[in-house]
Amino acid sequence: MQRKLRGEKKKIINKILKIIRENRTFFITSHMRPDGDSIGAQLALGSFLKRLGKEVYIANRDHVPAVYRFLSHSSDIHVVEKVERNFDVAFILDCSDLQRIGDIIDLKNRVKIVINMDHHLDCELFGDYNYVEPQASSVAEELYDLFKQSGLEMIEEEVLALYVGILTDTGRFQEANTTPRCHEIVAELIKKGISPQVVSQKVYESRTGPALRLLSLTLRTLEVTAGGKIAHLLITQDMYKETGGREDETEGFVNFARDVAGVEAGILFRETEIGDQFRVSFRSKGKIDVSKIARLFGGGGHRNAAGCTVKGNVGEVKQKILNAVSREVANTGTTEGRDSQC
């Protein structure tokens, strides 16, 4: 499958470039709770299309996380429940299935051609055209190849957006999807003017005082269970109020749960503003598949990073989730490196 996709890559990119040439209006979206790859890829693709004279509308269900707002045109990404417009083409980026876009558009009736660009191993081929490359570190990496093949020289903001996508989806070049190929691409991006130091400061060293106070309260809730294999953290609405930290500043908090030595699955529970409902984020090491758990509760993701929303009070939600995670941990042996594709 992977070899076949690799062999067909030139073809699918050429097909996409042809569709771009032959159409005028483009919709771009990505998954709920967007990350650095989904935002970076949407912005780079949006810029590319606009430079070709196309009409582009980018919209997501959730806001751009604060750390990515330094990217040019990030404020042009619309945040809407439903897009009530028609387009020639829709690009769905970084989604392993269509549920991930949160029903933001009626694709059947509003769009002529759906293009799925993704890099998840289990991606459903829901597009009319699917540029799905599981060995790519990120959609940003796939877009890099599209840019290359188009012959259009990248401009500065596109280079930066792609770099941020690769940087964040590989967990700063630490996860198992960090390949020689993605380092080669990053070398090219650095040659085009990226300063890794400056970007790192923007993405990882820009926490606000309130956000750090929120992190400190969050870390105090750390509990380790299941014989040291599961760690979890909790953020309540009271904690946001007490610190002034916002939910969109909690990016990366869940990693602290996974960072505990010996822990195989880390969980972050975040109480939502409507009460008796929690957003649950999972991170795992090795072969523990947290996307399976998230799917049980109507969420999604992939093997080592996933999320869902669960109704109930804090005790009920914790119990349900911890039971499910404990079962998964017990059924899966500890293994070598993690394979994170965000």
Contact set with Mn ion (CB under 5 A): 37, 94, 138, 169, 342
Q: How many CB atoms lie under 10 A from the CB of residue 270?
A: 23
Closer CB to Mn ion, 245 or 307, in the complex: 307
- In angstroms, what is the minimal distance from the CB of 140 to Mn ion? 8
- Classified as helix, coil or strand, 295 is helix
Closer CB to Mn ion, 127 or 245, in the complex: 127
Q: Where are the alpha helices (DSSP H) in 100-226?
A: 107-110, 139-150, 156-169, 180-191, 196-204, 209-220
Cα(54)–Cα(43) distance, integer angstroms: 14
Among all residues, whose Cβ is closest to Mn ion? 37
> Parallel, antiparallel, or unpaired for β 230-235 and 265-271?
parallel
Closer CB to Mn ion, 90 or 214, in the complex: 90
Closer CB to Mn ion, 169 or 271, in the complex: 169
- In angstroms, what is the minimal distance from the CB of 35 to Mn ion? 7
- In angstroms, what is the minimal distance from the CB of 30 to Mn ion? 9
- In angstroms, what is the minimal distance from the CB of 175 to Mn ion? 11
- In angstroms, what is the minimal distance from the CB of 176 to Mn ion? 14
First to last CA, the chain: 21
Cα(39)–Cα(177) distance, integer angstroms: 19
Residue 303 token pair:
């093997």
Quick one: which of 89, 146, 150, 142 has its CA closest to 118? 142
- In angstroms, what is the minimal distance from the CB of 72 to Mn ion? 20
Closer CB to Mn ion, 94 or 264, in the complex: 94
Residue 276 token pair:
């008796």
Closer CB to Mn ion, 161 or 310, in the complex: 161
